[in-house]
Amino acid sequence: DTAVSQTPKYLVTQMGNDKSIKCEQNLGHDTMYWYKQDSKKFLKIMFSYNNKELIINETVPNRFSPKSPDKAHLNLHINSLELGDSAVYFCASSLRGGLKETQYFGPGTRLLVL
């Protein structure tokens, strides 16, 4: 009965590799997000999609490319991984609605770049 799911949960890879993280939500939400949590636990938004349209694109290296095939899925592809990409990546979803629309988070993907 998972609301927001992410795969994989753990990802260990070498510098220079390309990897993808997948996210799916079954809450019927129309907006999805990617957040990055660094080693100091600081959470920062990276991207947001509403109904497959990119609406937030923070200052993120263009090695990061989100893709939303439909409003229930949002994937994150990372090219040429660097050591500094090591972090926990969270997917979240919400209704676009008003200010009070709560964002529900997935379990996170722990990425370690060696």
Partner 1 sequence: AQKITQTQPGMFVQEKEAVTLDCTYDTSDQSYGLFWYKQPSSGEMIFLIYQGSYDEQNATEGRYSLNFQKARKSANLVISASQLGDSAMYFCAMRERTSGSRLTFGEGTQLTVNP
The C-alpha atoms of residue 100 and residue 76 are separated, in whole angstroms, by 26
To partner 1, the closest distance from the beta carbon of 85 in angstroms equals 18
Among 8, 18, 44, 80, binds partner 1 (CB under 8 A): 44
Q: Is 96 in the site for partner 1 (CB under 8 A)?
A: yes
Cα-based angle 22, 10, 42 (whole degrees, multiple of 5):
85
Closest CA to 37 of 90, 96, 113: 90
| Least spacing, CB of residue 44 vs partner 1, in Å | 7
Give the nearest distance from C-beta 58 to partner 1 in angstroms.
Answer: 8
Q: Other C-beta atoms within 10 Å of 51: how many?
A: 12
CA distance 28 to 95: 8
CB of 110 to partner 1, least distance (A): 8
In this complex, which beta carbon is closest to partner 1, that of residue 14 or of residue 99?
99
Q: Determine how many CB atoms are found less than 10 A away from the CB of residue 111.
A: 21
Q: Does 33 bind partner 1 (CB under 8 A)?
A: yes
Task: State the residues that interact with partner 1 by CB under 8 A.
Answer: 31, 33, 40-45, 48, 50, 55-56, 88, 90, 92, 94, 96, 99-108, 110
